[in-house]
A = this chain, B = another copy of it.
Amino acid sequence: MPKKYVDLETLKYILYDIHKLENLLTRERFQEHDLESLNLFIDSVKEFSDRELYPFFKEMDETPAYHKDGTVIVHKQVETVMHQSGEMGIIAAAFNYEDGGLQIPFCALQAAVYIMEAANNHLPGYTGLTQGAAELIIEFGSKTLKDLYIPNMLAGIWGGTMCLTEPEAGSSLSDITTKATPTDNGYYKISGQKIFISGGDHQFAKNIVHLVLARIEGAPKGTKGISLFVVPKNRPKEDGNLEYNDVMTVADFQKMGQRGYCTTHLGFGDKDDCRGWLVGEEHKGLNQMFLMMNGARIAVGRGAAAIAMAAYRTSLQYANERAQGRKLTSDGKKNPLEKQSLIIEHPDVRRMLLLQKSIAEGSLSLVFLASKYHDIIHSTNSQEEKEKYNLLLEMIIPIVKTYPSEAGSESVNNGLQVLGGYGFCTDFSLQQYYRDIRISALYEGTTGIQSQDLLGRKVTMQNGKALKLLAAEIMQTIKLASKDDNLKDYAVVLGEKLQLSNKVLDYLMPFAAKGNYERYLADANLFMEYMSIVVLGWLWLEMAVDANTELNNSDSKYSKTFYESKIHTMKFYFKYEIPKTNSLAESLMSNEVVTIKKDKEFII
Closest residue of chain B to A456, judged by CB? B332
- A507 to chain B: which residues have CB within 8 Å? none
Given contact pairs A171-B324, A256-B435, A603-B344, A594 touches B568 in the complex (Cβ within 8 A): yes
Task: Give the number of times this chain occurs in the complex, counting copies.
Answer: 2
Is A576 close to B, CB under 8 A? yes
Is A592 close to B, CB under 8 A? yes
Report Cα–Cα, A119/B331, bound state, in Å: 47
The smallest beta-carbon distance between A433 and chain B, in angstroms, is: 11
Q: Are B568 and A448 in contact (CB under 8 A)?
A: no
- A523 to chain B: which residues have CB within 8 Å? 347, 351
Given contact pairs A515-B330, A561-B600, A583-B582, A347 touches B434 in the complex (Cβ within 8 A): no
Report Cα–Cα, A526/B577, bound state, in Å: 12
- A568 to chain B: which residues have CB within 8 Å? 594, 602
The smallest beta-carbon distance between A102 and chain B, in angstroms, is: 34
Given contact pairs A171-B324, A172-B324, A583-B579, A347 touches B431 in the complex (Cβ within 8 A): no
Is A521 close to B, CB under 8 A? yes
- A517 to chain B: which residues have CB within 8 Å? 328-330, 332
Report Cα–Cα, A323/B413, bound state, in Å: 31
Is A416 close to B, CB under 8 A? yes
Q: How many residues of A are in contact with the other chain, CB < 8 A?
A: 107
- A120 to chain B: which residues have CB within 8 Å? none
Report Cα–Cα, A210/B240, bound state, in Å: 71
- A525 to chain B: which residues have CB within 8 Å? 348, 351
Q: Are A603 and B354 in contact (CB under 8 A)?
A: yes
Q: Are B515 and A349 in contact (CB under 8 A)?
A: no
Find A438's partner among B255, B324, B416 (CB 8 Å cutoff). Answer: B416
Report Cα–Cα, A562/B602, bound state, in Å: 8
Known: A344-B597, A580-B583. 17 other contacts (CB 8 A): A221-B336, A253-B427, A327-B518, A330-B517, A332-B517, A354-B594, A416-B438, A421-B442, A423-B442, A424-B439, A431-B438, A565-B603, A565-B604, A572-B594, A574-B592, A579-B586, A583-B583
- Report 6 cross-chain contacts, Cβ distance below 8 Å, ordered by A residue: A255-B424, A347-B518, A347-B523, A431-B438, A571-B592, A572-B595
A residues with a Cβ closer than 8 A to B are 165, 168, 170-172, 174-175, 196, 221-223, 253-257, 316, 323-332, 334, 336-337, 340, 344-351, 353-354, 357, 409, 413, 416-417, 420-421, 423-427, 431, 434-435, 438-439, 441-442, 446-448, 451-452, 456, 512, 515-518, 521-526, 561-562, 564-565, 568-569, 571-572, 574-576, 579-584, 586-587, 590, 592, 594-597, 600-604
